[in-house]
A = this chain, B = another copy of it.
């Protein structure tokens, strides 16, 4: 499991043995069952996640309805807003599959960052990249219609459409489950 993490990091920086040895004993790996809720609305937390295998999602409950806004799968990281802002969480985080992830907290990160500046550099680069990508995704969402958004998703993350329940996909696309059904039927019709 460690190897998956180190392989990921090695795409950005080469860790020395000393650095690896500092990370190894931290006991950050956790295996969680499908359905487990990692973070609840209103809760304060300083835990960040990195998915090694499986899938987690963020969702809100608005007027009693679940609104899924994001999925994080293999090699994707989530520092919930509440961790960064030190305020109670506005959303839930839960596992939609049996999932293996790393869990780190702010103190651990501060310690590692203090000891190994290159690690902080890695984190800076990663968050800059994620921010730029998030903005592009947001732009794409704004500039396209639900049907185009679905077709886009089909291209970019075909796995999601397989592994995620339709009603969660729907709110991820900014529409209702019924509309997603209809939209898919419409697309099939066009093809024929």
Contact = CB atoms under 8 A, between A and B. Distances in A.
Interface string A138-157: 11011100000000000000
Give the number of times this chain occurs in the complex, counting copies.
Answer: 2
Contact of A143 (B60, B113, B128): B60
A120 B69 CA distance: 30
Contacts of A67: 139, 142-143
Given A69-B142, A113-B121, A135 B81 contact: yes
A142 B172 contact: yes
A67 B143 CA distance: 7
Describe A's contact surface by its main secondary structure. helix
B139 A70 contact: yes
A10 interface: no
A182 to B, nearest CB: 18
Given A69-B139, A143-B62, A124 B134 contact: no
Given A117-B120, A127-B128, A143 B69 contact: yes
A163 to B, nearest CB: 20
Interface residues on A, range: 35 or more
Interface stretch (A17-25, A26-34, A35-43, A83-91): A83-91
19 contacts: A58-B139, A69-B135, A69-B142, A81-B136, A83-B132, A84-B132, A85-B129, A85-B132, A91-B139, A117-B117, A123-B128, A127-B128, A130-B131, A131-B131, A131-B134, A134-B138, A138-B138, A141-B142, A143-B171
